A and B are shown apart, each in its own frame.
Chain A
Amino acid sequence: MALLLAAMAMVPMVSAYQASSYGPLYSNLDTAAVAQNAQGELSSMGYASTAYTGSPGASNALTRMSSDNVFFFDGHGGAGLLEFPDSFITGKDTGIYPHLQSSNGQLADVVLAVYMACNTAVLSDTYGNVAYQSLVEGVDMSVGWTGTINSAQSEYWSQRFWYWLDERCSVKIAAQRATSDLGDLYGTGNLGGMNNYVCRSNGNCAMTIDPARAGD
């Protein structure tokens, strides 16, 4: 029995649940530290958690996303698109870039997707709406922003958001508290647009993601 326990202690636990956090490097912004912080919190919650920094590819990220249970992106974006160093992921199929749109609920295992970039909850006639398209593809809760967001405030908001999720708050309460904590550090009049978060879900975003889980 003692030998068995000793052997178990030496074997790393491998979670059945996967989380991917993206923190690309741009010419004017490096979001690696943000992704790494989220990766640590998600690992603490029990996910097999990986941070992809530097130059992660858009196509690989999209392919991997169908196996993710939590997806997090911090970087540049716009209405209907996420900017990766090599390309974009768009909400709608434009025939040009990797896209979320499919006809088979390809993201049904994702319980939470957070697109921390400018205007990711805004509809573009050309590129669609990243947050809304995720809901259509089966993501339980997808979070985006209406408006521009600043990098310094988004970094701290992210730290606090994943912290509160790791404290077993619901996604809704974690977002509220992260925004409040941001106001403590930067001032309630200087939230850098982070208070304009939007959750797309068929529920009310009151689910927790700790302990690790998959989408319904």
Chain B
Amino acid sequence: MTKINLLKLIGIVIGLSLVLACSVAAAAPDNHDSKSLLSNEPVVTSVKENIQKYTGSPADAINDISLMKTYTGEVYQVTTAADNVFNINVKTGRIETAMIQTGAENSVKGKDLSGMKTVAEAFVEKYYTNFSDKKMAFIGSQIIDHGAMGKEYVYSWNAKSGNAYTLSSASVSFFPDDNRVYYHGTDRELLINTTPKVSQADAQKTGEHAFAMGSAAETQSQLFVIPSGDSQKLTWVVDTVEYDKLGIAHGGSVNIDAISGEVLSTNPFN
């Protein structure tokens, strides 16, 4: 009996929120425009104002600004002299990603997973406006051991509609060895009905068929809202895996339209 990888399972259970957009499923284009925007004064001014607005502190010296596509839009990626990185939504000015060094007041050394949850919540409430209004559900936490790179403490929240995970989500990762924290948050209006017409069982059969899986396949799925142009699409994300006699994994992820049953994308394992 093949056992599905535990970390994969945990990732699916706690991840939940943000899902591969159809447009980026088949391949990973370079979504980063390396052209510097440092000479664009209105952009520089706007970026500095937004960093101050959301962090409560003036922006430290900016090293570079470039444009980057995310799965829900475009951001300015800002690197600073203090070795921090901010991704600022081009349309809303919100900080959607912050990769920053924390001060002593936020030190997470010596705290356990549950003890650090309070610190994580403080980060999310500071950066994610409307956090309480969104009724964000705490999805879970985990520790990832990166070996010589240290441990990572991960906390995740997501807004749900029925059984579907929407595009509004937040996560915080702490790296205690480095006093670094990584924040992600997206706040998107729900535009579609979240009742699927395709059953979970049918979606999983379609997913297994897409990879010609055998009888030993382990399959699971979750319902997500994903971006689709200017709209959204209700999608079953099906993960299926089986191992050959050498221990090499076969299968991968399949995105299936939860209304039409169409296979939107396949994404095999390495």
Contacts and interface: CB of A to CB of B under 8 A. Distances in A.
Interface of A: 28-29, 31, 33, 37, 74-81, 83, 88, 116-119, 121, 124, 127, 131, 141, 146-156, 159-160, 163, 167, 171-172, 175-177, 180-181, 183-193, 195-205
Interface stretch (B15-23, B44-52, B130-138, B196-204): B15-23
6 contacts: A117-B270, A148-B8, A154-B270, A187-B17, A188-B171, A202-B148
B144 interface: yes
Nearest to A167: B79
B148 A193 contact: no
A133 to B, nearest CB: 14
A149 B165 CA distance: 22
Given A147-B5, A151-B267, A152-B28, A188 B146 contact: no
Contacts of A196: 7, 11, 144
Given A152-B27, A198-B145, A205-B148, A187 B270 contact: no
Interface of B: 5-8, 11-12, 14-20, 24-28, 30-32, 68-71, 75, 79, 85, 87, 96-97, 99, 144-150, 152, 154, 156, 158, 165, 169, 171, 173, 175, 177-178, 180, 182, 184, 237, 241, 243, 246-249, 252-253, 267-270
SS class of chain B's interface: helix, strand, loop or mixed?
strand
Nearest to A132: B147
SS class of chain A's interface: helix, strand, loop or mixed?
mixed
Contacts of A183: 18, 97, 171, 184
Nearest to B24: A185
User: Which of A76, A149, A177, A183 neighbours the largest number of chain B CB atoms within 10 Å of its CB?
Assistant: A183
Contacts of B171: 183, 188-189
A185 B156 contact: no
Given A190-B18, A193-B8, A204-B177, A199 B270 contact: no
User: Which of B5, B14, B30 neighbours the largest number of chain A CB atoms within 10 Å of its CB?
Assistant: B5
A153 B71 contact: no
Contact of B27 (A116, A117, A155, A176): A155
A198 B147 contact: yes
A83 B250 CA distance: 13
A177 B99 contact: yes
A167 B77 CA distance: 14
A198 B151 CA distance: 10
